[in-house]
Structure 1
Amino acid sequence: IPTHQGRVTVVLFVLEMEWVLSTGQDKNFTWHCSESGTQLGLYRTTAWVSGLQFDVETRHAFVGDYSGQVTILKLELDSCSLVTTFKGHTGNVTALCWDPVQRVLFSGSADHSIIMWDIGGGKGTAIELQGHNEKVQGLCYAPHTRQLISCSSDGGIVIWNMDVTRQETPEWLDSDSCQKCEQPFFWNFKQMWDSKKIGLRQHHCRKCGQAVCGKCSAKRSTIPLMGFEFEVRVCDSCHESITDEDRAPTATFHDSKHSIVYMHYEPTMGWLLTSGADKVVKLWDMTPVVS
């Protein structure tokens, strides 16, 4: 089907609709009838697409692109309409995964993060998952156990337990001085002059979002229910409020020992297929950890 003027980036076959969805570096998103090859529609994206998912029941296409934006389109037989767009990544979207039961969309990014978007709940909730040190390369979901499988270019495979009540990360607050000790930050010239104090560098507590100085946020902690499986900066009061139970991990970490560029999960057999930059394909039995 001659459709794109640039390299095709993602192709998706929708058996129930007899559609073929495709995207390219020419920023074209198209869908064709798989039987006749007839083009049914075309949509121009803001950047070239690197992730694509489709929900048969609602006919919604989820499009992730290199600007870090995710777009939801409503597809019809001969047209489409824009539903909404949202952006939470600082890097390009590298992978998408859709859970049609919980109506949740997962997006992975080059910024090392994963975001869980509550599409069906209508609350606009976005839960961050921080468990990779390099670019997220693939996402798969095991609906029967509510576990998310993610992989990254450094070979890391993370199994996330999504059957827990997670908390949304707070927005970072703005302030001209530390919201704990009230010492001025380095751009607050007036307060520095009045108090005869040197301005400090601004940081943020990952748990409460307050703007704090380094002295008031010298401690680190994991906050798994907020998606922070690695230790992050927290203010002194938040550090005291985090219990050992709060630090209980909600993910397990595994090393594939090759730089993963693609992954696919087969839930019936419990097998995970990974291919790497080393030109090696590996088949994993995931039943001991995805259960």
Structure 2
Amino acid sequence: MAAEIKPATQTNDRFCTTKKPVLLSKLEGCSDEINAAALIPGEDGVISVSDDKTVRVWLKRDSGQYWPSICQCMPSGATSVYYTVETRQLFIGQENGTVSEFSLASDFNRMMPVREYLAHQARVTDIIFAITCEWILSVGRDKVFSYNCTQTGRNIGVFNAESWCTSLLSHIGNLNRLAVKVWALNSLGRFDAQSKHAFVGDYSGQITMLKLDNNGPSVITTLKGHSGSIRSLTWDVARQMLFSGSFDHNIIVWDIGGQQGNAYELGGHHTLHYSDSTKQLISAGEDAVIVFWDMIHPRQETPVWGESDLCQLCNKPFFWNIRAMMDQRQLGIRQHHCRYCGKAICEKCSQGRLSIPSMGFEFAVRVCDPCHNALKDKERPSLATFHDAKHCILSMDVDETSKKLVTVGQDRVIKIWDISALL
């Protein structure tokens, strides 16, 4: 299990770096929770959706401040957003289950309604638009994955999951090998426009791989991973690696292309973006920290935690092992686990603490005494940089061309960052 990332402390030099995100602007004024925000590529603009039923298009003015050029009221809370820069198509998911399509004017001062898709019967949690297929894909709290044709408005097919579908992410790449050997995640969906595969995850921690065509979806396989629902999913095109961020405070890197069943853990966020150009994974979460993970260097798999009624080093009984406690005539002790080897150990046999960056543990974690002795003199350079965002992050979006990052906070504030020093 990976450790949860904790907020910055004055004594931890992991946060002391000369390369930092630069805060460019704050967007304030929303009266309710902001659910998502998307940067407008090629423009100094942001599109946000909120529970106050508004869709806002923020543009940078001559003063340097961002002000809404559009404030469109929807029939119900606006829960998700997807913008296609090539065609200026804007898709908005709503609390009532409707997906609304708009066309943005070239000056971003008007949004014209195009079509409404009655895709769900409950809150739309995420949407993507596959421009090459002209399909709008969506997931919702009605436990349904649905996709519709934007040319005709016709519903092509649906898939019923076992629990809430919580998010969806798209990518255009080659996922053909995934049909042979697949691992997956839980609360996200992902779509590949060339092979027409989608990953649909749900609240229970299960993800289903679907093959989509004009006759509807067909199930390829189902996969399980995290112990909590997944918030986001992203993809490394070159190495065919899947990244999942979950509310169980784990990021898992699934080596899909390797077809060996390998999975690597990074400690602790649920909102992700992968930069293909720099081979960095950007993560953020409710601890108000933005992390840039170096994914070029090789990673080690985290061990499976051992199960034992006795400490696997000193053989003292754990507190539930009544018979051994009576035989040894001593009180039972609490069980711990070494993060490096996975052995079940006691407190006395795990006095040392070490960071293990290759396993995703950038901060000191519990290791058993033999592993501590083996690792303490080895070089363990950090493979991530940590930055204080000063607000709890619910979602984010990255425009790699302009090297900007937008974060949405629990404080109902949108922050725009310049990350050119890091990308």
Report the TM-score when normalising by structure 2. Answer: 0.65
- RMSD across aligned positions (CA): 1.5
Mapped to 2, the partners of 1:243 and 1:232 lie a distance apart of 13
Mapped to 2, the partners of 1:100 and 1:74 lie a distance apart of 19
- The residue aligned with 2:207 is 70
Asked if residue 40 in structure 1 is aligned to residue 156 in structure 2, the reply is yes
Change (3 A) 1:17 1:32: same
1:258 aligned residue (380, 391, 402):
391
1:229 aligned residue (338, 359, 362):
362
1:143 aligned residue (276, 281, 297):
276
Asked if residue 30 in structure 1 is aligned to residue 146 in structure 2, the reply is yes
Name segments (4+ residues, structure 1) moved above 6 Å.
Answer: none
Mapped to 1, the partners of 2:300 and 2:242 lie a distance apart of 16
Greater relative contact order, per chain length (Cα 8 Å cut-off, separation 6+): 2
1:272 aligned residue (401, 405, 412):
405
Q: Residues 167-206 of structure 1 correspond to what in structure 2 (within 5 A)?
A: 167-206=300-339
Name the % identity.
50
Mapped to 2, the partners of 1:183 and 1:277 lie a distance apart of 46
Deviation at 1:191, TM superposition (A): 2.2
Indicate the structure (1 or 2) with the bigger Cα radius of gyration: 2
Deviation at 1:258, TM superposition (A): 1.6
Deviation at 1:233, TM superposition (A): 0.9
Paired amino acid for 1:32: N
Q: 1:274 is paired with a residue of what secondary structure?
A: strand
Residues 224 and 246, structure 1, Cα contact 8 Å, conserved in 2: no
Asked if residue 116 in structure 1 is aligned to residue 253 in structure 2, the reply is yes
Mapped to 2, the partners of 1:274 and 1:59 lie a distance apart of 30
Q: 2:166 is paired with a residue of what secondary structure?
A: strand
Asked if residue 94 in structure 1 is aligned to residue 226 in structure 2, the reply is no
Change (3 A) 1:187 1:96: same
Mapped to 2, the partners of 1:76 and 1:258 lie a distance apart of 42
Residues 220 and 239, structure 1, Cα contact 8 Å, conserved in 2: yes
Q: 1:192 is paired with a residue of what secondary structure?
A: helix
- The residue aligned with 1:10 is 126
Deviation string 1:107-154 (CA, Å, 9 cap, x unpaired) is 111122111111222122111100x4xxx3421111011100011023
Deviation string 1:149-186 (CA, Å, 9 cap, x unpaired) is 01102321000001111001010111121111111212
Mapped to 2, the partners of 1:271 and 1:245 lie a distance apart of 37
Q: Runs of 5+ in structure 1 lacking a partner?
A: none
2:263 aligned residue (112, 126, 134):
126
Deviation at 1:243, TM superposition (A): 4.2
Mapped to 2, the partners of 1:279 and 1:256 lie a distance apart of 14
Residues 237 and 276, structure 2, Cα contact 8 Å, conserved in 1: no
Paired amino acid for 1:124: G
Deviation string 1:30-77 (CA, Å, 9 cap, x unpaired) is 111111111111000111112222122322212222112222212122
Mapped to 2, the partners of 1:85 and 1:243 lie a distance apart of 41
- The residue aligned with 1:283 is 416
Paired amino acid for 2:165: V
Mapped to 2, the partners of 1:224 and 1:85 lie a distance apart of 30
Q: 1:150 is paired with a residue of what secondary structure?
A: strand
Change (3 A) 1:29 1:255: same
Paired amino acid for 1:2: L
Q: Runs of 5+ in structure 2 lacking a partner?
A: 1-116, 169-189
Paired amino acid for 1:67: S
Paired amino acid for 2:335: Q
Report the TM-score when normalising by structure 1. Answer: 0.93
Mapped to 2, the partners of 1:202 and 1:71 lie a distance apart of 35
Paired amino acid for 1:177: L
Deviation at 1:286, TM superposition (A): 1.0
Mapped to 2, the partners of 1:83 and 1:154 lie a distance apart of 36
Asked if residue 153 in structure 1 is aligned to residue 286 in structure 2, the reply is yes
